[in-house]
Structure 1
C-alpha cells in the first residue's frame, strides 16, 4: 500500500521541476522517491509477463529487466559526463544487493525463528560467480597501477588511459559472454538442477495474472517515467551534492544505488519472511551478479557509443576493497545453506562500515566532472 502512496511523488517532482522551478535539492529528493515505486511497477510488469512465458523465457525476462531502472539512471548520469558517479553506482549496487539487501532479508525472515535453510548448491554457484566478479573488477585496476610504472609511459596519461579503455572493453565483452553462458547453463542445460528450489517460489494464482497488454503497458509506462525522473535527478545531482555538503561520489554509491535496487530489497525481505529464504538469496545475490556481469559491461559499451567513454578502473581503491569484502562476507554466511537473524545483522554491519568509509573518502574525479566538482563540506583534518 505504501508503494502506491509513493506514486504521488511522480506529479510532485514534475511540478517542482517544470512549473515551480524549485531548488535542485527538492527536485532531486522527490525524483529519488518517485523512482522507487516506478521500479517496483517495472518489476511487477516483468514478472507478470514472465509468468505467462514459461520458465526459460520468463527467467530471461526477469534477468534482463531486473536492473532496468538502475541502468536508466546510470545512462542519464553518463550523458552528463560523470563517469565517477556511474562507477560508484555500480559499486554501490554490488555491495548494496549483497550486503544490505541480503542482510535485511535474513534479518527480517529469520527473526523469531531458530534458523532458515536454503539450497546450498544454488548458493555455491552464486558464490562462484561472485568471485568471478571480484577478479574481473580487480584486473583493470591492477593493470592501471602497473602501467603507471614503466618509463615509456611516464608523463603520458593519455596513452595509459587508452590502454585502460581497450582493456575495459575487452573485459566487458568477456563478462557479457559469461553472463549469456550462465543463462544457458541455468535456464537450459541444467535447469533441472536449479529448479529444485523453485517449489520455494510463489505459485501465482491464474486469476491474479494480468493480461499481456496490461503488463506491457505498465512496463512501457514505468520505463518512460523512470527515464524522465532520471533526467531530472541527473540534472540536480551536482547542485544537490554541493548544498548537502556531500560528494557526488557518495550520492552515487549509497543513495542512487539503493534507489535503483529498492524494489528488490522489498521483494527479498517479503519472500524471506514467508519462509522462502532460498528465493531471497537468489534475488539478492543474483542481482549483484547481474550488475557486475551485465549492467556494468553494457554501460561501458554505451559510454563509447554516446561519446562519454568510461573504463572499469575504479577511482577509489576502497571500492575494490568493498567488493572483495562483500564477496567474502556473503560466501561465509551462505556456505552452510542456513542462516540466523544475527548473520543478517553481520551483513548489514559490514555495509554500514563501508558506507561510513565512503562518506569520508575523497575520490579522484574524472572528465568533465572534475572541473565542476567542489569538495564536500566535511573535512579530514582534525584540529587539536
Structure 2
C-alpha cells in the first residue's frame, strides 16, 4: 500500500503534462500510473465506510465502487465516440478478471499452500449467473452477424436498450437474492479483530476526492488513446481489451492476490467472478443508457471478443465445480490469458 501512496505523485505530474501538452504516449503512461493509486484509495475509502454502514451496505459499496474506475474511464471513451474501445474494455475486464486475476491468485496462493478451498455453492452460483450474462451479450451479436444489418438499422438501438434493461433488472434481483432471501448462503465469518482507521467524514471525503480525480485523469487517458495508439503502432482494440482493464482494475486485482496469499481463496475467487458479473450486468447497461445522451452505442461485440468471453466463462464454470484450486490451475489460466493477449496484439 505504501508504494501506491508514493505513486500519487503522478497525479500533479499529469496535470502539469496536460497543461504543457506533453507527448500523448508519455501522458498515457503517466495517467495510467496516476489512476492506479487513486483506485486503491477509492477501495480503501469504501472499506472504511463499511465499518460504519454495516456489512450489507459495505459489501454493496465495495462491489459498486470496485468497478467505478472502469465505468468512469469507459464514460469518457464513450463521450469521445470510442465505442470499440469501450466494448473491448468491457470484454477485457471480464477476461482479465477470470483468467489473469484468478490465475495469478491460484498460482501465488498455490505456491504457498498445496491446495486451497472455497465455498463451492456460492462460487458455482456466481459462475452460473456469469454464464447467463455472457449469453445475454452473445444473442444480440449473433443476430447482428447473421442478418442483414440494413434490416436492423432502425430497430437495433431499441434491442440494445431492452437487453440492457433486462440485465440491470437481473443485477438488482441478484442483490436481493444475495443480501436478503438467500443471505445465509453468502454468510461469511466477519469475526476479525478490526476497527476503522478513518472517521466517516474522512472516508467520504477521500471517496469523493478520489472519484473526482479519477474522472479528470480518465479524460486525460482517453484523449491520449488515439494518438498514442498511432504513435507506437498499437490497435485501439488491444488498448481497450488489455491495457485499460488492467489500469482500471489494478487495485482490485492486487486485493484478490493478497487474499489468496492469506489462504482466503473464497474472497479471491468471488472478487474475480463477482467483479466480472457486475461488469456485464451493471456497468454495461449503465454505459448503454449513458450513450443515449451522446451517440447510442450498440451492445454488439465482435467475433473475437465473443469467443474469448465465452471460453473464459466456461473456464470459470469448470474451476468452480470442485471447490478447490492449486498452482497448476493458476498456470493454465494465465497461459490462456497470455495466448488471448498475444492474439489481440497481432490482430
- TM-score w.r.t. the length of structure 2 is 0.97
Q: Does the aligned pair in 2 maintain the 1:106–1:272 contact within 8 Å?
A: yes
How far residue 334 of structure 1 moved from its aligned partner, in angstroms, is 2.3
> Which one of 329, 345, 348 corresponds to residue 315 of structure 2?
329
1:356 and 1:204 mapped to 2: Cα distance? Answer: 45
Q: CA deviation at 1:204?
A: 5.6
Alignment correspondent of 1:203 = 192
For 1:207-232, what per-residue CA distance to the aligned partner results, in whole angstroms no more than 9, with x for missing partners? x4321101001101100110110111
* Residue number in structure 1 paired with 2:169: 177
Instruction: Please say if residues 157 and 297 of structure 2, whose CA atoms lie closer than 8 Å, have aligned partners that are also in contact.
Output: yes
Alignment partner, residue 333 of structure 2: 347
Q: Distance in 1 between matches of 2:55 and 2:223?
A: 40
Q: CA deviation digits over 1:168-189, x for unaligned, max 9?
A: 1011000000000000000111
Aligned-partner Cα distance in 2 for 1:121–1:172: 27
Offset at residue 145 of structure 1 (A): 2.3
In the alignment, is the contact (CA less than 8 A) between 2:113 and 2:263 conserved in 1? no
Q: Secondary structure of the residue that 1:311 maps to in structure 2?
A: coil
Deviations 1:56-98 (A, max 9, x none): 2222222222211110000001110111100000000010111
Q: How many residues align?
A: 346
Residue 46 of structure 1 and its aligned partner are, at CA, apart by: 0.9
Separation (CA, whole Å) in 1 of partners of 2:16 and 2:152: 46
C-alpha distance in structure 2 between counterparts of 1:203 and 1:161, whole Å: 56
Tell me the residue number matched to 1:311. 298
| Distance change in 2, residues 1:204/1:353 (3 Å) | farther
Q: After the TM superposition, which of the residue ranges 5-14 and 91-100 deviates more from structure 2? A: 5-14
Distance, in Å, in 2 between the alignment partners of 1:85 and 1:132 is 24
Answer yes or no: is 1:289 the counterpart of 2:277.
yes
Which residue is equivalent to 1:252? 240
8 Å Cα contact 1:91-1:253 kept in structure 2: yes
Instruction: Report the secondary structure of 1:309's partner residue.
Output: coil
CA deviation after TM superposition for structure 1 residue 278, in Å: 0.6
Provide the C-alpha distance between the structure 2 equivalents of 1:343 and 1:278, rounded to a whole number of angstroms.
Answer: 16
Q: Equivalents in 2 of 1:92, 1:73: separation in Å?
A: 13
CA distance in 2, matches of 1:145, 1:11: 45
Q: Which residue of 2 aligns with 1:144?
A: 144
Structure 2 matches for 1:258-297, cutoff 5 A? 258-297=246-285
Question: CA 1:66–1:268 in structure 2 vs 1: closer, same or farther (change >3 Å)?
Answer: same
Question: 1:254, CA displacement in angstroms?
Answer: 0.5
After superposition, the C-alpha distances for 1:100-136 in whole angstroms (9 at most, x for unaligned) are 1111111111113210011110111111111112210
| CA displacement at 1:29 relative to structure 2 | 0.8
Contact kept? 2:134, 2:280, Cα under 8 Å: no
Task: Give structure 2 stretches of 5+ with no counterpart.
Answer: none
Distance 2:239 2:191 in 1: 35
Cα offsets for 1:246-291 (capped at 9, x unmatched): 1111101110011111111100000110010011111111000000
Whole-Å Cα distance in 2 between the matches of residues 17 and 202 of structure 1?
A: 47
Match of 2:4 in 1: 3
- Residues 59-98 of structure 1 aligned to structure 2 (within 5 Å): 59-98=59-98
Cα distance, 1:50 vs structure 2: 1.6
Q: 1:194/1:295 Cα in 2 relative to 1: closer, same or farther (>3 Å)?
A: same
Instruction: Give me the CA root mean square deviation.
Output: 1.3
Counterpart-to-counterpart distance in 2, 1:255 and 1:238? 13
Asked if 2 retains the 8 angstrom alpha-carbon contact of 1:129 and 1:289, the reply is yes
Cα distance between partner residues in 1 of 2:319 and 2:215:
36
Q: Distance in 2 between matches of 1:265 and 1:204?
A: 24
After TM superposition, give the deviation of residue 202 of structure 1 in Å: 7.8
Bigger Rg, which one = 1
TM-score by length of 1: 0.88
Correspondence for 1:135: 135
